Amino acid sequence: MKNKILYVAMLCGLFFTTNSIAQLSGKKLFIDPGHGGFTANDRNIVTIPYAAGNQNGFWESTANLRKSAALQTFLQNAGATCGVTRTSTSQDPALSTRAAAANNAGAEYFISIHSNAGGGGSANYLLILYASDSAGSAKYSLSPTFGNNLWDKLFDNPLTPWTAYSLTNRNVRADYPFYGYNLGVLNPLTRPGVLTEGSFHDYKPETHRLLSSAYCKMEAYNMFRGICTRYGVTPTKGAIIGTVKDQSKTMTDSRYTPYKSGTSDQYTPINGAKAELLNSTGTSVLQTYNVDNNYNGVFGFFDIAPGAYQVRLSANNYSCKTVNVTVTAGGLHNVSQYMTAGTNNCTVIEEQKGVLTLNLSAESGVATPALSTTQAPGKTVYLHIKDASGAVVNRLDCTLTSSNTSVATISVYGTIVTGSTNSTTTIKAVKGNSEGTLTLTVSGTPSNNPLRLVIGNSPTNAAPYTPLLPEPVTITAGKVVWLGIDGNNNPTSPLWLSRLACTLTSSDPGVATVEADGTITGIDNGTTTIKAVNSGREGSINLTVTGGTGSGGGPGTGSELTANGQLTLKVVAYRPGAVSGDPEVFQVPADTQYAGCLFISDTGGSTYTVTRGTPTTYISVPSATVSQYGTFSTTGILSGLLTIKVTNGTKEGLVTLQVGDGLPPVNIVTIPEQDGIDVFNTATGITIQFEGDATIELYTFNGILLDKVKASQSYSRDLNKGLYILRINDRTIKFVK
């Protein structure tokens, strides 16, 4: 009998499940897939064929979530109790909340899953961190032991070329000596825990591998093996991993290079190849894996009983290839192959069809109690899958579809949202040669309860959208405010919905724009309607903008961009006794309580006489704490751009900083007029004129990279009206279209 236990955690989306069937029964662990939300802190990397900002491309949060989901499945099927801090890419809990969830649930060990970055070169190595004091002594003695257990299995990655360290020379480090501060997700723990940086995601071949579900699952399997070592047990099953490549062709695309010389990373992966796991005699297909089209060539088979097998590889315009492999309990077996051009001469072998069992529940991580397959419109439920043996199947390993998306949609994570159409749809899950279906009926009257929209001066989740601006809401051009969405439509008992889970629009972007994260920027005079739609429900709020030029050109007299009314911000590295004469810094440390200090002048000079406490107020994107003494925190911000806006009376000012090792890791300064760089607002967008060559980078106000090119003498791009961050040769200005 399988017992399911739900532990109520302190945040919606944090959960535990238990599956008492195997050697880790009674063990409790907590997994944290790092990052989230597709923000500037989410470390998006351009790949073939995904441009910057494409949510199908590489984002660290997506790869971390894939690893976490796979690790959770391995642990559950081994009988462990396993909790996670988030279950979707839109979620991004605070670091302290992630740690508190593990503490409250009584987990024995905590793992925060990440990947590293090193500037886009050929560096690629493992790093595991644990909480320590300033001298390097572990806060919990079992943390480095746990880290060493994980290292020994994570290092056993046959597909990536490590550039440093070894099985005996481990890179398992105390966090404080390594960074000069404690990591915000580890320091609050009251139990052993580690943060893993599984590889360098900006080593371009590795970026492409991290787009493969099989590759992410292999890293999860290695972590599972390390956990088994910690508990003194051996997994009962094994795994096969490999790549399929063409050794006659080398990769030259700049989105893939540079690669480590002398390694297989130089050769071209074969997109769309098929890998089949056969029985020992080659007469029956047991599993099938179709290689994706993301230029990694990775395939994998997991949960394989020990014994002899064959792996058969085929692809269009390549000769069929078969290799023998013996799988051992707890083993990881590499069968990477180079294929030869020719005719695909693989013969058809009868496949063993498997059956998947599907059910619905109210929780993403808890399959029971099962819900009815008849649901009302506008509901969110979750799909759960088991194979014929009763083992939990990772939803990310399956292809999930809905036959009628007007009735219900399903995400790759198994989240089902019913629509407003009363009818039926077939939910289908396919994993290799196994599949299962479930008929979902939507019946009832769609809810006419609208969403309540508010606008406030704060973007923080801790105290949502307060203080609220009185309705009808009026702001000045250039001002930045934030949208709040109340799912309860009840001012006394609001239910604040994730803004990323809603579709947000502005009826007139020439008056004000609204970003996916709820950031609203006043552009020019007029009134616009801000609208939010979530699961068939919608709400709207009118917003009036004043103080503009009346020509779509952005703020006019008295706005934050007017020199006579602007505060000048000076940012210096924080240390006790810091004074205004200390050297300026434009790059600040990530995820630390005291990252820097603001000095404020209302004269434009170097005399910083503005009081940093009341009545001066601060707003930052992403959210950061600024004290009354001007010190600010980057806790929970690991990389990217940090923008802090200061308001004192009728005057405002803004400074943008580089946090940590974001993309790219360079200082940010303001471009002086005498540099010969001219930036023009055009009818359709922006034009920049300069001497010689320049590297141009264009970001949204929230730090999401829109474009990065090397141009000669000029650059032009069409833009919607809004607020942007523009970088020219590693120097930054704010641009309002």
The predicted-structure confidence for 110-141, as pLDDT tens digits, reads as follows 999 999 987 778 889 999 999 999 899 999 99
pLDDT digits (tens, 9 = 90+) for 332-378: 999 999 999 988 878 877 666 789 999 998 776 667 788 899 988 87
The sign of the CA dihedral 337, 63, 174, 16 is negative
At 300, is the secondary structure helix, strand, or coil? strand
- CATH 1.10.1200 correct for 673-736: no
Peptide bond into 93 cis (omega under 30): no
Q: Where are the alpha helices (DSSP H) in 354-424?
A: none
pLDDT of residue 501: 66
pLDDT of residue 592: 67
At 681, is the secondary structure helix, strand, or coil? strand
In the structure, what pLDDT confidence band is assigned to residue 610 with cuts at 50, 70 and 90?
low
pLDDT digits (tens, 9 = 90+) for 279-322: 999 988 888 899 999 999 999 999 999 999 999 999 999 999 99
Sheet of strand 452-456, all strands in order from the earlier edge strand to the far edge? 452-456, 480-486, 519-522, 512-514
pLDDT of residue 17: 38
pLDDT digits (tens, 9 = 90+) for 491-526: 776 767 767 667 888 888 778 888 766 778 787 788
Contacts of 180 (CB under 8 A, 6+ apart): 589, 592
Q: 3 pLDDT exceeds 60?
A: no
- CATH 2.60.40.1080 correct for 354-442: yes
Answer for the pair 74, 153: CB distance below 8 angstroms, yes or no: no
d(CA 623, CA 635): 9
d(CA 657, CA 668): 6
Question: CA-based angle 471:473:475, to the nearest 5?
Answer: 155
User: Taking all residues of the chain, what is their mean pLDDT, rounded to a whole number?
Assistant: 79
What residues pair up with 631 in beta bridges, in sequence order?
597
pLDDT of residue 446: 64
**Cβ-based neighbour number of residue 420 at 10 Å:** 16
Answer for the pair 58, 201: CB distance below 8 angstroms, yes or no: yes
d(CA 19, CA 72): 11
Q: Of 677, 680, 685, 711, nearest to 697 (Cα)?
A: 711
pLDDT digits (tens, 9 = 90+) for 141-154: 999 999 999 999 99
d(CA 42, CA 182): 20
Please give the CATH number for the structural domain made up of 563-660. Answer: 2.60.40.3440
In the structure, what pLDDT confidence band is assigned to residue 11 with cuts at 50, 70 and 90?
very low
The sign of the CA dihedral 20, 25, 29, 32 is negative
At 301, is the secondary structure helix, strand, or coil? strand
Residues, the chain, total?
Answer: 737
- Helices and strands in the chain, H and E counts: 6, 45
- The residue with greater pLDDT, 3 or 111, is 111
Show me where the domains of the chain are located: 15-230, 238-338, 354-442, 452-546, 563-660, 673-736
Answer for the pair 16, 83: CB distance below 8 angstroms, yes or no: yes
Q: 172 pLDDT exceeds 60?
A: yes
Question: CA-based angle 693:41:543, to the nearest 5?
Answer: 90
pLDDT of residue 295: 96
Q: 555 pLDDT exceeds 80?
A: no
**Cβ-based neighbour number of residue 729 at 10 Å:** 15
Task: Round to the nearest angstrom and report the end-to-end CA distance of the chain.
Answer: 63
Type of residue numbered 84: V
**Cβ-based neighbour number of residue 249 at 10 Å:** 13
Answer for the pair 131, 138: CB distance below 8 angstroms, yes or no: yes
Q: 33 pLDDT exceeds 90?
A: yes
Tokens of 18: 């238990």
The position carrying tokens 């940010």 is 668
Rg over alpha carbons for the chain, rounded to the nearest Å, is 27
From residue 8, how far is each of 5, 175, 489 by CA, in Å? 10, 30, 26
At 152, is the secondary structure helix, strand, or coil? helix
DSSP H or E run through 160:
none
In the structure, what pLDDT confidence band is assigned to residue 21 with cuts at 50, 70 and 90?
very low
Fold assignment, 238-338: Immunoglobulin-like (2.60.40)
pLDDT digits (tens, 9 = 90+) for 244-272: 999 999 999 999 999 998 999 999 999 99
User: Exposed, middle or buried by CB within 10 Å (0-12, 13-18, 19+), for 477?
Assistant: buried
Fold assignment, 15-230: Aminopeptidase (3.40.630)
Q: Of 336, 155, 317, 151, nearest to 240 (Cα)?
A: 336
pLDDT of residue 217: 96
pLDDT digits (tens, 9 = 90+) for 385-419: 988 878 888 887 888 999 998 888 888 778 888 87
Q: 175 pLDDT exceeds 50?
A: yes
Tokens of 470: 């009185």
For residue 480, how far is the Cα from the chain centroid?
Answer: 25
From residue 242, how far is each of 101, 263, 328, 332, 550 by CA, in Å? 36, 15, 16, 10, 61
The position carrying tokens 């991290």 is 210
Q: 464 pLDDT exceeds 50?
A: no
d(CA 140, CA 330): 28
At 175, is the secondary structure helix, strand, or coil? helix
Mean pLDDT of 182-202: 93
Q: 31 pLDDT exceeds 90?
A: yes
Q: Of 438, 441, 420, 417, nearest to 428 (Cα)?
A: 438
Instruction: Report DSSP state, residue 628.
Output: T
d(CA 336, CA 620): 48
DSSP H or E run through 626:
none
d(CA 703, CA 727): 11
DSSP H or E run through 104:
helix 95-105
What residues pair up with 546 in beta bridges, in sequence order?
476
Mean pLDDT of 177-195: 91
- The residue with greater pLDDT, 674 or 197, is 197
d(CA 86, CA 62): 11
pLDDT of residue 396: 77
Answer for the pair 54, 718: CB distance below 8 angstroms, yes or no: no
At 353, is the secondary structure helix, strand, or coil? coil
Tokens of 716: 């032009």
- The residue with greater pLDDT, 677 or 465, is 677
d(CA 488, CA 470): 19
Q: Of 16, 194, 179, nearest to 112 (Cα)?
A: 194
Tokens of 147: 């880290």
DSSP notation for 209-276: HTT-HHHHHHHHHHHHHHHHHHTT---SSEEEEEEEEEEEEE---TTT----TTSGGGEEE-TT-EEE
From residue 603, how far is each of 12, 222, 474, 568 by CA, in Å? 47, 59, 28, 7
Instruction: Report DSSP state, residue 371.
Output: P
Domain boundaries 452-546, CATH class: mainly beta
Identical fold between 354-442 and 563-660:
yes
